[in-house]
Structure 1
Amino acid sequence: MAHRMSVIAVPDAELDELRARLRHTRWPTRWPGPRWQAGTDIDELQRLVDYWSSSYDWRSHEAAVNALPWHTADIAGTPVRYLRFDADRPDALPIVLTNGWPSTFLELIPLARRLATPSAYSNDDADAFTVIVPSLPGFPFSPARPSLEQPLQTHEIWHDLMQTVLGFTRYAAHGSDLGAGITSRLGGAHPEALVGIHLTAVASPSDATDVTIEEQTYLDSVARWSADEGGYQHQQSTKPLTLSYGLADSPAALLAWMLEKYRAWSDCGGNVSARFGDDFLLTQASLYWFTGAISTSFRPYYEYAQGLTRRVERVDVPTAVALFPADLTQPPRSWAQRIYHVTRYTRMPRGGHFPAYEEPDLLANDLTEFFRDHRS
């Protein structure tokens, strides 16, 4: 059973406490090297913390979040909150969109609106989708699954949501980052239900042989990226609890942890606020802060590292791969084809790791063109 709902109402006392914590941040000694070289730049962080504690209008963003088309469903004891954007037409193809980390549902809103109501963006109503945006378990506003050993993994929760709760016999799926892994598992586990999947990242085979020169170049780039940028992943995969104490206690630390990724992984040219806007970044951080979700958002990394999450072995449904130039790594088509039935492979002219927010038009157009041939 699903019903419409509001999702957040922060008491004045909690808002006052957040502002007090921000104003009393204990800052580290200034780093002697170039800005951003060793992590989040103190000048940029202090500027955002000052704005967060004084002029940032949480109440307006809270109202905007509550005005979204929220619903909730209980799936095998796990409450799932999700957004439903109804299409311009009743026979539209259903699609489930899944974000990654440190993202939230908020990042997917520009894409969801373009897919559900293409006529509002000068596109054809015939291409409309019925768009479902669930909030990941452990992210704002869906609680984490009750235990690490719970057998119902996120992709199975998504399938139950789409088929059992919403009644969609056949549907499409798109995912980025962690969401690409969930979408891949969904396609692998339920090929009878998926008309196709659309990804901005791909899984790697566990035992690749006969690696081509192009594929080896890609693997070398992954290794370099992991050495330079993968510290967060190692920590979240091995000792997430230790990290969570500081981020759950200090809003400045929480913002710093997230801000570094929005700058490093996006097509922002080093100026993260110009690409995303201060209010968007602070609303993302506020959502994690007020829901206390930062520690549980680390769970997917830990569960995968501990072998509690199903590996992606083979996905035979039609698959589209869209790569954005400022994203983490760029797998060649042949690498993706080792696991997926790739029928569309696109290298985008711009954009980064957060394309649903950075380049919603490019991403919506690619999704539309891919699924146009699979609507029947």
Structure 2
Amino acid sequence: MTIADKRADATTSGDDTGIRPFSYRADDEELDDLRRRVRATRWPDRETVDDTSQGVRLDVMRALADYWADEHDWRAVEARLADLPQFVTTIDGVDIHFVHVRSKHEDALPMIVTHGWPGSFLEQLKIVGPLTDPTAHGADASDAFHLVIPSLPGHGFSGKPRTTGWDPIRIATAWAELMRRLGYDRYVAQGGDWGNAVTEQLALQTPPGLVGIHTNMPATVPPAIQSALDAHQDPPADLDEEERNAWDQLAYFYAHGLGYAQEMAGRPQTLYGLADSPVGLAAWMLDHDARSYDLIARVFAGGSEGLTRDDILDNVTLYWLTNTAVSSARLYWESKLPFFAPKGVTLPTGVSVFPDEIYAAPRSWATEAYPNLIHFNRLDRGGHFAAWEQPELFSQEVRATFRSLR
């Protein structure tokens, strides 16, 4: 049992609603065991194709494992985290871990930012500086934010729910309570991936103080388009160029990229191998979407991209040390929401479209999905992990979205 398991077991049943400081340091034995397991990986034979049609390629995983065992430094991650104000509070019986960084500008706008899978709160750490201290990053003091960055239940340093029911709707309710406890009576919310699902549900609940949202993975697919995709039909003939591009991306994802989601939605507890093999866990996390995998493969081949080898392994190591492979997968089992379907959000909404996302939402679909669309922009680079890959562009998008709501 890891330190994180012990902490979660000890606190998820507690009634303490106070906010407690949080810090984390892995045991030396845990890190030694991780490196031993990586070095002892029993490798499969090489794929029989020269592309990714059979999954994550052996040469990518070999390069990742070599770096993980010999060069990656988790202690450097802990040192960075020690400089951040981290806290835990118990909401609805589950410990919620969060980073809370207040800007030096007292009139800053509070914002809660939610990650997805296979990400973590580490995704958002690159935007802390640009958003809380904008004058140091070429922006105006009037664009400052106070940031609240929680870990989803069952992810990272948050507790692991011991009962069912922790879907995006319940998480959104917990986020509203978190912001209330922090004393924020006016705030905004941001999210991508599961973070978008939670953020949209928060907007639908219209808790006191929430005035707008921003998403980098909007749910905009019209019902007729979704029905045609589900039926494996040809695309409608009247799609414009943006809409046809989105159709092609979605059709590819449904045909080639849903394996992980189907298994986690149907049988998350079956994924014992992810809790036992760090390389198995890493391969599962890399196989999330084609363009993110391509980026990561280039990084481990020596390329220079928005992410580094350390970025990628910082995140995988967090999942490993906290033993959250299966507990995080249960969110797919819990949620019954149609992931890409419009939810009827009427709060002011900003949408940023990064080209290498699972699908690049067309303006026409976004306008229909969010009738109070206050910002829409298509970026020229960036993908699924937008805040992590392109923190400056991401920060500019968030500033632009909420400028009119200050």
Kindly provide the CA deviation profile for residues 150-200 of structure 1, in whole angstroms up to 9, marking residues without a partner as x: 68711111110012x111111011101110111111111116522211001
- Structure 1 match to 2:239: 213
2: CA distance, partners of 1:194 / 1:56? 40
Q: Secondary structure at the match of 2:97?
A: strand
- Structure 1 match to 2:190: 174
Higher mean alpha-carbon deviation, 82-91 vs 46-55, is at: 46-55
- Structure 2 match to 1:290: 321
Kindly provide the CA deviation profile for residues 99-147 of structure 1, in whole angstroms up to 9, marking residues without a partner as x: 1110011110111221111112122112100011001111001012331
Query: Aligned match of 1:130 in 140, 146, 149?
Result: 146
Query: Aligned match of 1:232 in 242, 255, 260?
Result: 260
Q: Secondary structure at the match of 2:368?
A: coil
2: CA distance, partners of 1:150 / 1:157? 10
The structural deviation recorded for 1:201 is 1.6
Q: Secondary structure at the match of 2:346?
A: strand
Kindly provide the CA deviation profile for residues 236-263 of structure 1, in whole angstroms up to 9, marking residues without a partner as x: 1111221x20111000111111223376
TM alignment of 1:53-72, pairs within 5 A: 53-72=69-88
- Structure 2 match to 1:259: 286
Amino acid at match of 2:239: I
Higher mean alpha-carbon deviation, 137-146 vs 31-40, is at: 31-40
Q: Secondary structure at the match of 1:317?
A: coil
- Structure 1 match to 2:114: 98
- Structure 2 match to 1:320: 350
The structural deviation recorded for 1:62 is 2.1
Distance change >3 Å, CA 207–CA 51, structure 1 → 2: closer
The structural deviation recorded for 1:67 is 2.8
Amino acid at match of 1:232: Y
Preserved contact between residue 60 and residue 297 of structure 2 (Cα < 8 Å) = no
- Structure 2 match to 1:45: 61
Amino acid at match of 1:132: V
The structural deviation recorded for 1:235 is 1.3
The structural deviation recorded for 1:228 is 1.6
The structural deviation recorded for 1:51 is 2.0
- Structure 2 match to 1:160: 177
Amino acid at match of 2:20: H
* TM-score computed with the length of structure 2 as normaliser: 0.85
The structural deviation recorded for 1:44 is 1.9
Q: Secondary structure at the match of 1:40?
A: coil
RMSD of Structure 2 on Structure 1 (CA): 2.5
Preserved contact between residue 325 and residue 348 of structure 1 (Cα < 8 Å) = yes
Query: Aligned match of 1:281 in 309, 312, 327?
Result: 312
Distance change >3 Å, CA 200–CA 179, structure 1 → 2: same
Preserved contact between residue 325 and residue 347 of structure 1 (Cα < 8 Å) = yes
Amino acid at match of 1:280: D
Preserved contact between residue 30 and residue 42 of structure 1 (Cα < 8 Å) = yes
- Structure 1 match to 2:219: 203
Query: Aligned match of 1:355 in 386, 390, 393?
Result: 386
1: CA distance, partners of 2:256 / 2:325? 23
2: CA distance, partners of 1:312 / 1:112? 29
Q: Secondary structure at the match of 2:90?
A: strand
Distance change >3 Å, CA 372–CA 206, structure 1 → 2: closer
Amino acid at match of 1:345: F
2: CA distance, partners of 1:28 / 1:280? 26
The structural deviation recorded for 1:370 is 1.5
* TM-score computed with the length of structure 1 as normaliser: 0.91
- For structure 1, list consecutive stretches of 5 or more residues without a partner in the other structure: none
Amino acid at match of 2:378: R
Distance change >3 Å, CA 104–CA 167, structure 1 → 2: same
Amino acid at match of 1:371: F
What percentage of aligned pairs have identical amino acids?
A: 36
Higher mean alpha-carbon deviation, 50-59 vs 23-32, is at: 50-59
2: CA distance, partners of 1:267 / 1:320? 28
- Structure 2 match to 1:19: 35
Kindly provide the CA deviation profile for residues 39-91 of structure 1, in whole angstroms up to 9, marking residues without a partner as x: 11211211221221223222222222233210111112221110011112112
Distance change >3 Å, CA 16–CA 270, structure 1 → 2: closer
Q: Secondary structure at the match of 1:213?
A: coil
2: CA distance, partners of 1:232 / 1:118? 38
1: CA distance, partners of 2:122 / 2:25? 17
Distance change >3 Å, CA 220–CA 179, structure 1 → 2: same
Preserved contact between residue 266 and residue 353 of structure 1 (Cα < 8 Å) = no
Q: Is 1:223 the counterpart of 2:234 in the alignment? A: no
- For structure 2, list consecutive stretches of 5 or more residues without a partner in the other structure: 1-17, 228-235
- Structure 1 match to 2:231: none
1: CA distance, partners of 2:131 / 2:91? 26
The structural deviation recorded for 1:267 is 7.8
